[in-house]
Amino acid sequence: MPSASVVLDIPTRALDRAFDYRIPSELADEVSVGATVLVDFSHRAAVGYVVGLSDEVPRSIDADRIKDIQQVLAPPAFDETAACVIAWMAREYACPLSEAVRPFLAPGQKVKVTRAGEGGPWELTHERAGTVDDRWVELADAGFVPAAHASRQRQVLEALAAGPMRLAELSALIGGAASAVKALEKHGAVSCASRRRVRGGDATTLSSAYAVRPERLTRGQLDALAAIGEAVGRASGDCVLIDGVTGSGKTEVYLAAIERVREQGRGALVLVPEISLTAQTVGRFRSRFGDDVAILHSRLSVGERFDQWDMVRSGQAHVVVGARSALFAPLSNAGLIIIDEEHEGSYKQDQAPRYHARELAARLARERGAALVLGSATPSLEALERCRTGSYRGSRWTRVEMPERPGGARLPTVTVVDMADQFRGGARSIFSEPLEKALHAVAARGEKAVLLLNRRGFATFLMCRDCGCVSECPHCSTALTYHERSHELMCHTCGQSWPIKAYPDPSTSCPNCGSRFLAAFGIGTQRVEDELRMLLPDSMDIIRMDADTTRGKGAHQELLERFDASPSAVLIGTQMIAKGLDFPEVTLVGVINADTMLKLPDFRAAERTYALLEQVSGRAGRGEKPGEVIIQTWWANHPAILAAARHDRRLFEEAERAERKEAGYPPFSRLANITFWGMQSRAVLAASDAFAAELRARVGTDPAWEVLGPAACIKSRVKDRFRRHVMVKAPLDADLGSVLSACVRTLPAKRGSNISIDIDAYDMM
Nearer of residues 510 and 644 to Zn ion, judged by Cβ: 510
Q: Pick from 764, 583, 597, 604: which is nearest to 672 by CA?
A: 764
The strand pairing partners of 266, in sequence order, are none
Nearer of residues 284 and 729 to ligand ADP, judged by Cβ: 284
759 belongs to the binding site for Zn ion (CB under 5 A)? no
Nearer of residues 130 and 408 to ligand ADP, judged by Cβ: 408
Could you give the 3-state DSSP secondary structure of residue 331?
A: coil
Nearer of residues 221 and 454 to ligand ADP, judged by Cβ: 221
Say if CB 724 and CB 701 are below 8 A apart: no
Largest CA distance in the chain: 97
213 belongs to the binding site for ligand ADP (CB under 6 A)? no
Fill in the per-residue mask, 283 to 322: x = in contact with ligand ADP (CB under 6 A), - = not in contact.
Answer: ----------------------------------------
Fill in the per-residue mask, 356 to 395: x = in contact with ligand ADP (CB under 6 A), - = not in contact.
Answer: ----------------------------------------
Give the interface segment with ligand ADP, choosing from 213-221, 517-525, 586-594, 738-746 (CB under 6 A).
Answer: 213-221
Cα–Cα distance for residue pair 380/764, rounded to 1 Å = 18
Question: What residue ranges in 3-80 does DSSP mark as E strands?
Answer: 3-8, 18-22, 36-41, 44-54, 71-74
Nearer of residues 408 and 748 to ligand ADP, judged by Cβ: 408
Cα–Cα distance for residue pair 32/11, rounded to 1 Å = 23
Q: Pick from 415, 443, 408, 453: which is nearest to 584 by CA?
A: 408
Cα–Cα distance for residue pair 618/628, rounded to 1 Å = 10
Give the interface segment with Zn ion, choosing from 308-316, 485-493, 516-524, 662-670 (CB under 5 A).
Answer: 485-493
Residue whose beta carbon is closest to ligand ADP: 249
Task: Choose the one of Zn ion, ligand ADP, none that binds residue 251, judging by a C-beta under 5 to 8 angstroms depending on kind.
Answer: ligand ADP
Nearer of residues 146 and 249 to ligand ADP, judged by Cβ: 249
Could you give the 3-state DSSP secondary structure of residue 192?
A: strand
Among 128, 152, 199, 250, binds ligand ADP (CB under 6 A): 250
The CA distances from residue 138 to 172, 199, 432, 562, 688, in Å, are: 16, 22, 65, 38, 68
Cα–Cα distance for residue pair 644/584, rounded to 1 Å = 21
Say if CB 275 and CB 346 are below 8 A apart: no
- What number of CA atoms fall less than 13 Å from residue 269's CA on the CB side? 32
Nearer of residues 183 and 469 to Zn ion, judged by Cβ: 469
758 belongs to the binding site for ligand ADP (CB under 6 A)? no
Say if CB 383 and CB 243 are below 8 A apart: no
Among 214, 495, 511, 537, binds ligand ADP (CB under 6 A): 214
222 belongs to the binding site for ligand ADP (CB under 6 A)? no
Nearer of residues 229 and 457 to ligand ADP, judged by Cβ: 229
Question: What residue ranges in 297-405 does DSSP mark as E strands?
Answer: 319-322, 334-340, 371-376, 391-392, 395-402
Among 512, 566, 681, 754, binds Zn ion (CB under 5 A): 512
Nearer of residues 256 and 476 to Zn ion, judged by Cβ: 476
Q: Pick from 590, 578, 592: which is nearest to 633 by CA?
A: 592
Spell out the alpha helix ranges (H) of 490-598: 525-535, 555-565
162 belongs to the binding site for ligand ADP (CB under 6 A)? no
Fill in the per-residue mask, 549 to 588: x = in contact with ligand ADP (CB under 6 A), - = not in contact.
Answer: ---------------------------------x------
Among 247, 267, 273, 678, binds ligand ADP (CB under 6 A): 247
475 belongs to the binding site for Zn ion (CB under 5 A)? yes
Among 39, 373, 464, 620, binds Zn ion (CB under 5 A): 464
Specify the DSSP element, H or E, that contains 164.
none
* Residue 725 amino acid letter: H
Residues 563-622 that bind Zn ion (CB under 5 A): none
Task: Choose the one of ligand ADP, Zn ion, none that binds residue 280, judging by a C-beta under 5 to 8 angstroms depending on kind.
Answer: none
Q: Residues in the site for ligand ADP, rule: CB under 6 A?
A: 212, 214, 217-218, 221, 244, 246-252, 406-407, 582
Q: Residues in the site for Zn ion, rule: CB under 5 A?
A: 464, 466-467, 469, 473, 475-476, 491, 493-494, 510, 512-513, 515
